[in-house]
A = this chain, B = another copy of it.
Amino acid sequence: MIVVMKPEATKEQIRHAVERVQEMGLKAILLEGTNRNVIAVIGDKRETAQEILAAIPGVERAVPILAPYKIASLEVKRERTTIPLGSGVIGGRRVAVIAGPCSVESRAQLLEVAHAVKEAGALGLRGGAFKPRTNPYSFQGLGRTGLEYLAEAREATGLAVVTEVLSPEQVELVAEFTDVLQVGARNMQNFHLLREVGKVQKPVLLKRGFAATLEEFLLAAEYILTQGNAHVVLCERGIRTFEDHTRNTLSLSMVPTLNERSHLPVAVDPSQGTGKSSLVIPMSRAAVAVGADALLIEVHPDPERALTDGAQSINIPQFQLLMKALRPIAQAIGREL
Contact = CB atoms under 8 A, between A and B. Distances in A.
Given A63-B63, A283-B290, A313 B55 contact: yes
Contacts of A331: 328, 332
A289 interface: yes
Nearest to A44: B34
A319 interface: no
A92 to B, nearest CB: 18
Contact of A219 (B57, B136, B187, B290): B136
Contacts of A310: 51-52, 54-55
Contact of A75 (B7, B189, B279): B7
Interface string A54-68: 111100000101101
A310 to B, nearest CB: 3
Given A36-B66, A40-B40, A242 B240 contact: yes
* Range, interface on chain A: 35 or more
Given A66-B35, A329-B289, A51 B242 contact: no
Contacts of A168: 167-169
A249 to B, nearest CB: 5
Interface in A233-288: 239-246, 249-257, 260, 273-274, 278-279, 282-283, 285-288
Nearest to A102: B51
A222 interface: yes
Contact of A332 (B249, B256, B257, B332): B332
Nearest to A327: B332
A189 B239 contact: no
Given A33-B65, A167-B192, A239-B249, 19 more contacts: A33-B42, A34-B42, A55-B304, A55-B311, A56-B304, A136-B226, A166-B191, A214-B243, A241-B242, A245-B254, A249-B249, A249-B251, A253-B274, A255-B282, A256-B282, A285-B289, A289-B290, A328-B332, A331-B332
